[in-house]
Amino acid sequence: MTNKKKIIIDMPNKHIYQGKDLNSHVMHFTDEVTDLYRNHQTTVLGKGVVNNKINALIMSKIANIGIHTHYIKALNMREQAVRISDPVNITVRFTNVTTEELATKFNLVQGMVLKSPVMELFVGNSIAENLSTDEQIVYFGVVDPFEMEEIKHISSRINDFLQGFFSSYNIRLVSVDLKFAKVFEEDYIRLVLADEITPDTTRLLDLTTNEVLDSSFSLQTGMDTNYLEVAKRMGLVLRNKPTKRKLKLVE
């Protein structure tokens, strides 16, 4: 059973375990949903199953455009094999539509589509507090200047791709949080996209109705409707009715 494995990295909505071989870890998706800004958490039964499917699809699509990721393959309903890597202690956020935080900070109208994406950098685990500049990140040795530029370039490409990807399912990508890691390949160190891209790490709206489709809906209601709707549009679930119980997924 998963709960008997030794946890290598413990995060609010997933756990990382040692894999069966020396070159991989296992990423296990839990049912916890966390709001990092408001320090609020709830449990949505079955959410981890859906996120496992969504992340596998998106990571595969990103790999298809030539961006390296830590994703290897899906193992079961809740777990994926990922490459062993050294996490980079940075979160890159790209915002395409004004969020509540940006609207409050800069006296803007929330929900306004931006002329160009806004990039923010955060160091550590607390997005609410640790906004940083790329100069600070380089100066204090989190990454070197070349790695910083590569992270910014890759992040911009991913955001551009994801806007089109979600738009094809009538979903607007409001913002996305990206994490990276270093993979050691013989004498070469490669930066790869790590963590996950799901409704937990994005803010999503229906393009037509502006209905919220990301994790903030579940934090307010405890229901899984938003996760299921995103997965259904991607062709990953078969049922339509919201529930807190069993989820029928397309293999």
Hey, where are the domains in the chain? 2-85+222-233, 86-206
Say what the pLDDT of residue 149 is: 98
pLDDT in tens, 174-206: 999 999 999 998 889 999 999 999 999 999 999
How far is the C-alpha of 132 from the C-alpha of 120, rounded, in Å? 8
Out of 67-76, 122-131, 136-145, 164-173, least confident range: 122-131
How far is the C-alpha of 125 from the C-alpha of 23, rounded, in Å? 26
Class of domain 2-85+222-233: alpha beta
Confidence of residue 13 (pLDDT cuts 50, 70, 90): confident
pLDDT in tens, 52-90: 999 999 999 999 999 999 999 999 999 999 999 999 999
Class of domain 86-206: alpha beta
Closest C-alpha among 184, 189, 190 to residue 68? 190
pLDDT at 16 over 70: yes
Percent of the chain with pLDDT over 70: 85
Say what the pLDDT of residue 12 is: 75
More confident residue, 64 or 38: 64
